[in-house]
A and B are shown apart, each in its own frame.
Chain A
Amino acid sequence: MSDKHSHMNHSVDPELIRKYLAGELDNKAMHALEKQAMDDPFLADALDGFAERKSDQRMHLADLNKRLELRVKGKEERKVLPIIRLDRRWLAAAGVLLLVMGGLFWIWRSGFREDQSIAYKSADVADSSITDTLQYYNQEEPMAWGNKSEKLRGISIRPDTGSHIFPGNVSTESRGIAGILRREQDTVALAMAPSPSTVAAAPTLMAEKADRTDTIDTRIVDIAIANPKDMPIREKETEARSRNYFAVKPIVANRLIKGQVNDGKNGLPGVAVILEGTTQGVVTGADGSFSLNVADTTKNVNLVASYVGFKQERLSVSPRENNLDIRMREDQNGLNEVVVTGYDKKISKKFGAVYQPPMPAEGYDSYNEYLAKNTHYPASAVADNVKGRVKVSFRVMPDGSLEDFKITRRLQPDCDAEALRLIKEGPGWTPASDRTAARVTVEVYFPAKTPR
């Protein structure tokens, strides 16, 4: 048992395999690896694969390592970038805020009391370059002079597991500015309590990435630091009259791709839409519409739509494209590909009796058994390592005799001859039920001859 674990859990050094195949190992090491392979079908399989290649595979393996690294890193790079961008943007936003606050303070001092707030533009924040990963929601109430209307920018962050999105230091930081901190199960709501005359800005950003928890933390800290500077004193003076929440909700990151499959005019029902490379997929409804959940929300996904009689439609969908219109084109060849192997089909007119095609006298099972047992593998085929099928077509005459042999699928001359011999010498056939000659095709199988 311990032996089992020692090799079960451990990988085999690629270098060892290479040396083994290159004959660079001593006998002892060779034996060790061979013995391991004896007990480990995976290793044995891989060794066989490598052994079939003469060339050095080190380059390819190094390439694979790089690709794997890139695949994993690709996400991380994208993960880091937004923080830096975000910082600048928040700084900009903070600057604007500071100005506005300064202005307000001045206004307040010069006698405009109560009920004033300023609608504050932040179009510059919602720069398109950032919308790749972040989305700002700006909800503005027109003409914010008056009463408690404020500009809302709320944050919702969607990490994939909810438990530890909001680490302690963040909440304490936030407490400093916010005054109130609410914790409701998974939802942390920060209530900002600005005075009516101040501008309250609760930033909204949508983090699309599921695994960006650390990034998210950093952002929140940024906000927490930025805000107390910009919204000083005032907040502490007054009670909360209006509240802006910014809520951090753990929502399972999922992307819902919706769409409709049509043939240019009408929706196509029953079309299989599959996420390429997976077994995930859906079938379109009566109007051709579908919706498909995709776990990975960051990279392009490939969808494949297939439907009988139409050309398979493969399309790459970028993360922001969630409403699709898939147009399928008719496939002219589509139906020609269906190969029907069978018998001349005739319906007997006598009393509407059901036509029975010719049958082996003892039934198909025993006929197949006969074929399997009596197929002599021609020596020449063994030598050439030939394997495959031979198809023989012939007519079963009304008296049960066989005529007009044709080989419809050739493999190798000796195999073809063997297939003919088998059928000619084989068990008899029952003619078709309507007592007419009918053509039948039989497949003779020459499996790979491996040394047993």
Chain B
Amino acid sequence: MAFLHHNIMKDADDAVLILEYKRSGQLDYLAALYQRYMNLVYGVCLRYFDEESSKDAVMQIFEELIVKLQQHEVQNFKSWLHVLTKNHCLMKLRSMKNREGKEISLDGLPVMENDSFAHHENGVSIEVHLQGMEKCLDALPEEQKRSVDLFYLKEKSYKEVADITGYDMKKVKSYIQNGKRNLKICMEQQDV
């Protein structure tokens, strides 16, 4: 029984763990689930706070989960957790701002919108269509074209792309991101 239990904790689908948690109310299941993504949650928190506050935030988010998972029907736990994390951090920032009268700019921080869910699904299959998108690729600005080509077709890492092209690492990343987005738009127009 204990063995079985252990297996569930390790291998089960997120959805199964959520169900088990909802059914039994046992925190073990929730903890096993949370552990899978805790490093990501922590990483996201690091964007907003220092290490100690981030750790606190990670634990607070767990507390939030205890309540919220019982109340909400969650389809895609990972994406949902991402949004929850960001919102938690933003709320915390906001309350810090109010309490201390300190001005913390929220401008640079991305605000989560619904399309991030869509993004997740849309982004994935992009390679599948790569063959048919040469035309679109050619239409891209030079930097984006080279970066996308090297990253997706030649499977080079950011660093390699940067070395080959001489572009700045950070720019490479945004070239790829923007190139990918532009390609998608272009492909959609082709389809129509």
Question: Which of B131-139, B150-158, B184-192 touches A?
Answer: B150-158
Contact present for B23 and A161 (CB under 8 Å): yes
Given A3-B125, A68-B31, A210-B25, A41 and B120 touching (CB < 8 A)?
yes
| B125 proximity list for chain A (CB < 8 A) | 1, 3
Task: List, in ascending order, chain A residues with CB within 8 A of B59's CB.
Answer: 64, 67-68, 71
B36 close to A11 (CB less than 8 A): yes
Partner of A451, one of B35, B66, B159, B174: B174
Whether A27 and B160, one on each chain, are in contact in the complex, defined by CB atoms closer than 8 angstroms, is: yes
Q: B42 to A61, Cβ gap below 8 A?
A: yes
Interface residue range, chain A: 35 or more
Task: Establish whether residues A46 and B119, one from each chain, have CB atoms under 8 Å apart when the complex forms.
Answer: no
Query: Does A287 touch B at the CB level, under 8 Å?
Result: no
Contact (Cβ within 8 A) B43 A46: yes
Chain A residues 62-102 with CB under 8 Å of chain B are 63-65, 67-69, 71-72, 75
Contact of A283 with B by CB under 8 A: no
Output the least CB separation between A175 and chain B (Å).
Answer: 25
Q: Is A43 a contact of B40 with CB atoms below 8 Å?
A: yes
Q: A9 CA to B121 CA in the complex, in Å?
A: 14
Q: A68-B38, A211-B26, A451-B171 are in contact. Are A30 and B124 (CB under 8 A)?
A: no
The secondary structure that dominates the A interface is: helix
Interchain CA distance A73-B23 in the complex, whole Å: 19
Q: Is B142 an interface residue (CB 8 A)?
A: no
Which chain B residues numbered 27 to 79 have a C-beta less than 8 Å away from chain A?
27-28, 30-31, 34-47, 51, 54-55, 58-60, 62-64, 66-67, 70, 76, 78-79
Cα distance A83–B152 in the bound complex, in angstroms: 60
Known contacts A9-B13, A30-B158, A451-B171, A75 near B27 by CB under 8 Å: yes
CB distance from A161 to the nearest CB of B (A): 7
If A39-B124, A47-B43, A50-B46 touch, does A68 touch B35 (CB 8 Å cutoff)?
A: yes
A41 close to B124 (CB less than 8 A): no
Q: Number of B interface residues at 8 Å Cβ cutoff, please give it.
A: 68
Q: Which residues of B contact A47 (CB under 8 A)?
A: 43
Minimum C-beta distance from A74 to chain B (A):
9
Instruction: Please report the C-alpha to C-alpha distance between residue A230 and residue B45 in the assembled complex, in whole angstroms.
Output: 60
User: Is A414 interfacial (CB 8 A cutoff)?
Assistant: no
What is the chain A residue whose CB lies nearest that of B150? A31
Residue in contact with A277 in the complex, picked from B64, B158, B160, B176, CB distance below 8 Å: B64
Chain B stretch 75-102: residues in CB contact (< 8 A) with chain A = 76, 78-79, 81-82, 86
Chain B, residues 148-183, CB within 8 Å of chain A (1/0): the string is 000110011111100000000011001011101000
Interface contact A278-B38, CB-CB below 8 Å: no
Pick the contact of B123 from A31, A38, A60 — CB < 8 Å? A38
A209 to chain B, nearest CB (A): 10
Compute how far the CA of A280 lies from the CA of B62 in the bound complex, rounded to whole angstroms: 16
- Among residues of B, the one whose C-beta sits closest to the C-beta of A43 is B40
Interface residues of A in 350-388 (CB under 8 A from B): 387-388
B-chain residues with CB within 8 Å of residue A30 when the two chains form the complex:
157-159
A contact residues around B63 at 8 Å (CB): 277-278
The minimal Cβ–Cβ distance linking A45 to chain B, given in whole angstroms, is 5
Contacting B27 at CB < 8 Å: which of A43, A64, A71, A451?
A71
On whether A64 and B42 interact (CB within 8 A), knowing A41-B116, A387-B108, the answer reads yes
Contact of B119 among A41, A67, A211 (CB under 8 A): A41
B24 close to A161 (CB less than 8 A): yes
Q: When the two chains form the complex, which single residue of A17, A42, A61 contacts B81, counting CB atoms closer than 8 Å?
A: A42
**Does A448 make an interface contact (CB < 8 A)?**
yes
With contacts A28-B155, A65-B35 known, is A278 near B51, CB below 8 A? Answer: no
Residues of A within 8 A of B107 (CB): 387-388, 447-448
Can you name 18 A-B pairs with beta carbons within 8 Å? A11-B40, A31-B160, A38-B176, A41-B119, A42-B82, A45-B82, A46-B44, A52-B46, A52-B47, A60-B42, A67-B55, A68-B34, A68-B38, A71-B59, A71-B62, A295-B70, A387-B105, A450-B108
